[in-house]
């Protein structure tokens, strides 16, 4: 009989845990999935797999014979940073539905900037009737920081909508219809030639603080920025300086150094900032459970793990 699968999560409400357990059990009826707090000492010792959502590191440490960990999130930087070392292999969630939803959000908020919605919001507040010239998507270039699964899905949607698309990644990639860049010089070139920059980078030691004043002020004057990656990739004080100086026209921020965004943050009331409550790429429980189920079934059958996180790179 297969060993019990541990579900390890820190959730705000018991109903959140129950919702995840319900989705996972429906997708994997042949598995016995128990929340960590309901497992006996014998079950914890025997567990070979943990499915996790923001787990307490102490709980993972109390599962001494894990062969691997499956995260329910696409971002795993906190998990990698907090887990006791050496950690078992970690698989992050790679979900086509998440890619679709994120690409949808990138396109929606790119349209928001392309169609000058922040300007019209301000015009309404001032009771001003002030139409602006229309900009065709083909007249604008969108630069994507991060060309992983999410970045490539976003590039496809933007290209199909008629935008010129460029992309930057740590290592050089080739994507049909996208001009790609890599390395330090490539980053400067992409930033300097993009009207809207979309950040989809994971948070790693290399990306923390990557978009600082040096790079913000290499962007086009009047360009806009969307951050759907991780807050600490962009230096918040430097971003505010670029906005206050008039160098950047607007930014759409869905992620921040501290979440929920503190009440005292300057971003809340800044006229050139649109604040979102980390909603650009929500995880759909049923879809995520289906992905996890397929990975677990394959592992049970022949011992193969899905693609696991490079712990040195952090993703």
Report residue 237 as tokens: 């004080």
DSSP line for 89-142: PEEPP--HHHHHHHHHHHHHHHHHHHTTHHHHHHHHHTT---------GGG-EE
278, 300, 304, 313: which is the annotated catalytic residue?
A: 278
44, 92, 215, 230: which is the annotated catalytic residue?
A: 230
- Helices and strands of the chain, counted as H and E runs: 11, 12
Report residue 33 as tokens: 């999935």
Dihedrals φ, ψ of 148, to 5°?
-80, -155
300 included as an active-site residue: no
230 included as an active-site residue: yes
Residues 6+ apart with CB under 8 A from 220: 191, 192, 193, 194, 195
Closest to 227 measured CA to CA, from 145, 170, 163 = 145
CA distance 244 to 248: 8
State the catalytic residues: 230, 278
């Amino acid at each position: 009989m297969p060993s019990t699968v541990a579900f390890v999560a820190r959730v705000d409400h018991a109903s959140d845990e129950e919702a995840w357990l319900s989705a996972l059990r429906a997708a994997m009826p042949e598995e016995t999935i128990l929340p960590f707090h309901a497992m006996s000492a014998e079950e914890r010792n025997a567990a070979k797999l943990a499915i996790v959502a923001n787990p307490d590191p102490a709980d993972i440490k109390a599962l001494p014979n894990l062969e691997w960990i499956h995260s329910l999130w696409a971002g795993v930087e906190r998990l990698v940073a907090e887990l006791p070392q050496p950690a078992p292999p970690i698989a992050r969630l790679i979900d086509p539905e998440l890619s679709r939803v994120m690409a949808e959000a990138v396109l929606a908020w790119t349209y928001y900037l392309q169609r000058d919605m922040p300007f019209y919001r301000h015009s309404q507040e001032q009771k001003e009737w002030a139409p602006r010239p229309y900009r065709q998507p083909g007249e604008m270039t969108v630069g994507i920081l991060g060309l992983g699964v999410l970045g490539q899905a976003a590039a496809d949607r933007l290209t199909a909508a008629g935008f010129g698309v460029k992309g930057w990644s740590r290592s050089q990639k080739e994507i049909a219809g996208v001009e790609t860049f890599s390395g330090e010089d490539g980053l400067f070139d992409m930033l300097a030639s993009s009207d809207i920059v979309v950040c989809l980078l994971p948070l790693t030691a290399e990306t923390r603080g990557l978009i600082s004043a040096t790079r913000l002020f290499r962007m086009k004057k009047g360009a806009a920025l969307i951050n759907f990656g991780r807050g600490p990739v962009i230096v918040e004080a430097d971003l505010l300086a670029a906005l206050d100086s008039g160098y950047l026209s607007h930014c759409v921020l869905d992620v921040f150094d501290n979440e929920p965004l503190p009440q005292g943050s300057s971003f809340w009331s800044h006229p050139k900032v649109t604040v979102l409550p980390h909603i650009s790429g929500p995880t759909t429980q049923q879809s995520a459970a289906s992905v996890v189920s397929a990975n677990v079934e394959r592992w049970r059958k022949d011992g193969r793990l899905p693609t696991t996180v490079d712990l040195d790179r952090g993703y």
